[in-house]
Amino acid sequence: MKVAIIGFGNIGKYLANWVVNEPSFELSYVVARREIDKDSFDFKNQPVSIRKEITADLINDVDIIIECATKDVVSQLLKYEELDREGLKFIAISTGGLYQNKAVLNNLKNCEVILPVGAIAGLDAIKAVNDEISSINLKTTKHPKSLEGAPFFETSNIDLSSIKTVQTIWEGKVSEAVSLFPKNINVGASIYFASKCEDLTIQIVADPYTTSNMHEITCEGDFGKIYTRTENQPSPSNPKTSFLAVKSVVSILRNMNASIKIN
């Protein structure tokens, strides 16, 4: 299967390395706005085309598109009518971009849009009971350094470098979180798609002593109560990303050729 990877940061490089070492897949395209030195990355002699922009011919030429860039790139991809093609699989890591384009998603008829479980556990159970949910909440705890650069802080008086104790940074709805913390709260958008709950509430906590990215989900309804707590080690090369989020994409790719599938 021919693969295009959109975004060639730490996640994109990890996934590219995995794809070029798997016989079932062929890395056909990498899209990145920064220059890529082919000699600095071992593409295993695969005929990889390096592009700076997404194009219709690229979309038509592949079986799998993996987005690991930004929510704005997701929005850009969804504008291409070529995306809605039978047999095409679109794996989106920036699920906040999917949330902000819900109307477009609802009009897709052929393309299979796949959301990695990312940095959390329990989405399968939440999806199974999403017609019985009365309340659902996400509490995300990260080191202040992992929150740096979020648009929220452009207008906030909070100084992340001065935080010395555990502090709640923000609370609100998922619709606000995907805009204010786009690189930190894709998990919130993923929970929305599993739960279909517009009332999903999110709490973001900064803990200067934590060494992990922690996500706690509390989901209640007539079915009972689901509570999950996932403590992820940050990706070695990017503290804003949980390593589990990267591995969950690998799991999707492995599952495509597996004879036994766990959904």
Same domain for 17 and 100, yes or no, is yes
Give the active site residue among 215, 234, 243, 248: 215
Phi first, then psi: give them for residue 139, nearest 5 degrees: -115, 120
Q: Is residue 260 part of a domain?
A: no
Give the 3-state secondary structure of residue 220. Answer: strand
pLDDT on residue 110: 97
CATH number at residue 155: 3.30.360.10
- Encoded amino acid at 219, one letter: C
Q: What is the pLDDT of residue 238?
A: 67
The 10s digit of each residue's pLDDT in 161-196 is 999 999 999 999 999 998 999 888 889 999 999 999
What is the per-residue pLDDT for 239? 63
Instruction: Calculate ∠ Cα 85-5-63, nearest 5°.
Output: 30
* Phi-psi group of 7: left, alpha or beta (phi > 0 → left; psi -120 to 50 → alpha; rest → beta): left
> Cα separations (Å) of 53 from 56, 58, 161, 259?
10, 10, 36, 36
Residues 130 and 108 both lie in one domain: no
What is the three-class DSSP state of 255? helix
Ranges of residues in the chain with a pLDDT under 70 are 234-241, 263
* 73 CA to centre of own chain: 12
Same domain, 9 and 109: yes
User: Does residue 165 sit in the same domain as residue 103?
Assistant: no
Q: What is the pLDDT of residue 134?
A: 97
20 within a domain of the structure (yes/no): yes
Residues 42 and 137 placed together within one structural domain of the fold: no
Domain-embedded: residue 254: no
Q: Is there a domain that residue 263 lies in?
A: no
The question of whether 215 is a catalytic residue gets the answer: yes
Total structural domains within the chain = 2
User: What is the reported pLDDT for 183?
Assistant: 81
Q: Is the pTM here over 0.75, yes or no?
A: yes
* 189 occurs within a structural domain: yes
For residue 2, give the nearest of 67, 58, 85, 79 by alpha carbon.
58
Q: Tell whether the torsion through CA atoms of 3, 246, 217 and 169 is positive or negative.
A: negative
Helices (H) and strands (E) in the chain, counts: 9, 13
Range of the domain at 151: 123-240
Residue 63 belongs to domain with CATH number? 3.40.50.720
Query: Per DSSP, which regions of 37-84 are E strands?
Result: 49-51, 64-67
**pLDDT value for 46:** 86
